[in-house]
């Protein structure tokens, strides 16, 4: 295959002012020595710092650098999709601009793509330094979503190289709240995984608080799977089985004349049924709100400024 195929690199950036120039230096050095033609697309996801200014400065000096600025923080998924939409390369690579995804692997991923693989996915061989709570949350999230979607996602990451065909099929999906990591497995295509070790962040801090992660997890589980709704049915059956047991016991007491006790049981049942109903309504309500969001069909993101295009 022709070695001059063009690679688009997509870098979502949220308050990453110190990483922009650094990421460009590292990536462009690696790609130039591997003689891979490329463009770098930075997506400023509504940062409050100098991220976009730095992108603009960089882009005015380097024609390979392009920048997109969101009108507010729309989240990493939106940033990835904006990057894919703006990309013109024969293949696209998505990576974090804090360089926790090792740029040294790009030439190898590119070669795999040239060998005919349409999706080259980076798989976490280790998660790098994280606090215990974060690892615990991440593990339970991946456990649930892997079970729910039937795709093992415990080690997946957003570090992926996608062929133009794969990019176009992702962009053709009308979902308002896409979950990139899962969708890019769902689309299939000829896929190969390549293990990598998550590096430590060079500058700045992680943008994820525990609360943001929980919201992200719930949003992505429900955007990809209806399993929580089945859980409601499951709860219903459990309650039904309990009610048969308790029903038989109550009738037995009634006919043997020992009824009228069991006030505690009544209170416990009230509480249990009440909470099961509330939880179930909550789950159903959540899906309705997701349907509501999808039906409004608002854009995934809004762009205020662009540079380098």
Residues that bind Mg ion (CB under 5 A): 96, 98, 100
Closer residue to ligand UDP in complex, CB, 96/118: 96
Give the sign of the dihedral formed by CA 54, CA 57, CA 63, CA 66: positive
CA–CA–CA angle 139, 145, 147 (5° rounding): 100
Identified binder of ligand UDP from the candidate list 7, 9, 14, 109, rule CB under 6 A: 14
Q: Is 303 helix (H, G, I), strand (E, B) or coil?
A: strand
16 near ligand UDP, rule: CB under 6 A: yes
What is the nearest approach in angstroms of ligand UDP to the Cβ of residue 166? 20
Closer residue to Mg ion in complex, CB, 16/118: 16
Q: Residue 192's beta-bridge partner residues? A: 120
Q: Residue 156's beta-bridge partner residues? A: 123
What is the nearest approach in angstroms of ligand UDP to the Cβ of residue 59? 17
**Residue 77 and residue 180 in contact, taking contact as beta carbons nearer than 8 Å:** yes
Number of residues that bind ligand UDP (CB under 6 A): 16
Measured between alpha carbons, how far is 247 from 244 in angstroms, rounded to an integer?
Answer: 5
157 near ligand UDP, rule: CB under 6 A: no
Closer residue to ligand UDP in complex, CB, 157/280: 157
Neighbours of 308 (CB within 10 A): 20
* From the list Mg ion, ligand UDP, none, partner contacted by residue 207 (C-beta under 5 to 8 A by kind): ligand UDP
What is the nearest approach in angstroms of Mg ion to the Cβ of residue 49? 16
76 near ligand UDP, rule: CB under 6 A: yes
Report how far apart, in Å, the C-alpha atoms of 301 and of each of 80, 102, 297 are. 11, 28, 11
Measured between alpha carbons, how far is 228 from 231 in angstroms, rounded to an integer?
Answer: 5
- Residue ranges of the alpha helices (H) in the chain? 20-33, 51-61, 76-86, 106-114, 132-149, 164-171, 180-186, 210-224, 227-256, 263-296
What is the nearest approach in angstroms of ligand UDP to the Cβ of residue 5? 25
Tokens standing for 58?
């960089």
Closer residue to Mg ion in complex, CB, 100/223: 100
Using CB under 6 A as the criterion, what x/- string covers residues 83-102 for binding ligand UDP?
-------------xxx-x--
**Using CB under 6 A, which residues numbered 207 to 236 contact ligand UDP?**
207-208
181 near ligand UDP, rule: CB under 6 A: no
206 near ligand UDP, rule: CB under 6 A: yes
What is the nearest approach in angstroms of Mg ion to the Cβ of residue 139? 18
| Residue 200 phi, psi dihedral angles, 5° rounding | -80, 150
**Residue 187 and residue 169 in contact, taking contact as beta carbons nearer than 8 Å:** yes
What is the nearest approach in angstroms of ligand UDP to the Cβ of residue 130? 8
* From the list Mg ion, ligand UDP, none, partner contacted by residue 308 (C-beta under 5 to 8 A by kind): none
Return residues touching ligand UDP (CB under 6 A): 12-14, 16, 45, 73, 75-76, 79, 96-98, 100, 206-208
């Amino acid at each position: 295959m022709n070695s001059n195929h063009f690679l688009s690199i997509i870098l979502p950036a949220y308050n990453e002012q110190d990483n922009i120039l650094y990421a460009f230096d590292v990536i462009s050095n690696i790609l130039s020595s591997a003689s891979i033609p490329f463009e770098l697309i930075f997506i400023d996801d509504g940062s409050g710092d100098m991220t976009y200014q730095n992108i603009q400065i960089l882009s005015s000096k380097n024609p390979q650098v392009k920048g997109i600025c969101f009108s507010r923080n729309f989240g990493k998924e939106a940033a990835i999709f904006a990057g894919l939409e703006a990309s013109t390369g024969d293949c696209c690579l998505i990576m974090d601009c804090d360089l926790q995804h090792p740029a040294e692997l790009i030439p190898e991923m590119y070669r795999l793509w040239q060998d005919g693989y349409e999706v080259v996915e980076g798989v976490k061989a280790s998660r790098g330094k994280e606090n215990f709570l974060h690892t615990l949350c991440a593990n339970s999230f991946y456990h649930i979503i892997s079970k729910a979607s039937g795709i093992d996602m415990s080690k997946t990451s957003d570090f992926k190289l996608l062929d133009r065909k794969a990019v176009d099929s992702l962009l053709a999906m009308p979902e308002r709240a896409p979950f990139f990591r899962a969708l890019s497995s769902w689309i299939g295509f000829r896929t190969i995984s390549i293990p990598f070790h998550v590096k430590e962040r060079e500058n700045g801090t992680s943008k994820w608080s525990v609360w943001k992660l929980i919201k992200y997890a719930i949003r992505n589980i429900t955007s990809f799977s209806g399993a929580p709704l089945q859980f409601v049915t499951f709860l219903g059956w459990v309650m039904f089985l309990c009610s048969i047991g308790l029903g038989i016991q109550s009738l037995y007491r009634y006919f043997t004349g020992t009824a009228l006790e069991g006030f505690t049981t009544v209170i416990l049942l009230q509480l249990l049924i009440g909470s099961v109903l509330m939880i179930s309504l909550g789950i159903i309500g959540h899906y309705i709100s997701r349907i509501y969001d999808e039906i409004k069909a608002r854009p995934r993101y809004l762009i205020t400024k662009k540079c380098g295009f």
